[in-house]
């Protein structure tokens, strides 16, 4: 075995590694092989502790409470979807009413739908639909052979 004071041999001839002249990176007395950084105690945020004290978590829901939550979520989702469609798809009700056989109900729905569509046009709610429709018409009219006329 070599002495730590000996110069480092660039071509070691011994089977086992020589003793390093450098100190170990971590002294063995300072190292705990079973330590885990996630096991260290951490202090809880004061606001989180205050919130938990002021507003304790609710007890777990039973089956009836879970079913009630599911019905409430479904109702809210249907309401949002209906409101979205009434604003951005109002023309469909008008088109449907015009396709029905003439009668008192058809004329009433048609008048209501016409007034609704006119009011939404004043607000500009039809602009996204018209923009998409215009983009689709431009895409359909696009020519890829360089000609500008539509006749073949």
- The reply to whether 56 falls in a domain is no
Give 82 or 141, the one with higher predicted confidence.
82
- The reply to whether 2 falls in a domain is no
- The reply to whether 74 falls in a domain is no
Q: Which residues constitute the domain of residue 137?
A: 90-143
Structural domain tally of the chain?
Answer: 1
- The reply to whether 76 falls in a domain is no
Helix extents (H) in 13-103: 46-54, 63-88, 90-99
Instruction: Tell me the HSE value of 110 on the side-chain side, using a 13 A CA sphere.
Output: 13
- The reply to whether 41 falls in a domain is no
Q: What is the tens place of the pLDDT at every residue in 13-68?
A: 665 666 777 766 655 555 566 666 666 667 778 888 888 888 888 888 899 999 99
Give 152 or 127, the one with higher predicted confidence.
127
- The reply to whether 5 falls in a domain is no
- The reply to whether 8 falls in a domain is no
Q: What is the tens place of the pLDDT at every residue in 94-120?
A: 999 999 999 999 999 999 999 999 999
- The reply to whether 132 falls in a domain is yes
């Amino acid at each position: 075995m070599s002495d730590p004071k000996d110069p480092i041999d660039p071509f070691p001839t011994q089977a086992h590694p020589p003793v390093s002249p450098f100190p170990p990176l971590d002294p063995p007395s300072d190292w705990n092989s079973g330590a885990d950084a996630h096991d260290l105690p951490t202090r809880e945020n004061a606001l989180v502790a205050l919130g938990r004290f002021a507003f304790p978590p609710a007890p777990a829901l039973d089956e009836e409470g879970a079913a009630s939550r599911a019905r409430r979520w479904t109702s809210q989702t249907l309401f949002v979807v209906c409101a979205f469609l009434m604003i951005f798809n109002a023309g469909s009700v008008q088109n449907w009413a015009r396709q029905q056989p003439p009668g008192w109900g058809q004329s009433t729905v048609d008048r209501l739908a016409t007034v609704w569509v006119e009011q939404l046009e004043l607000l500009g709610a039809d602009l996204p639909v018209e923009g998409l429709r215009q983009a689709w018409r431009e895409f359909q009219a696009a020519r890829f052979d360089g000609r500008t006329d539509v006749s073949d």
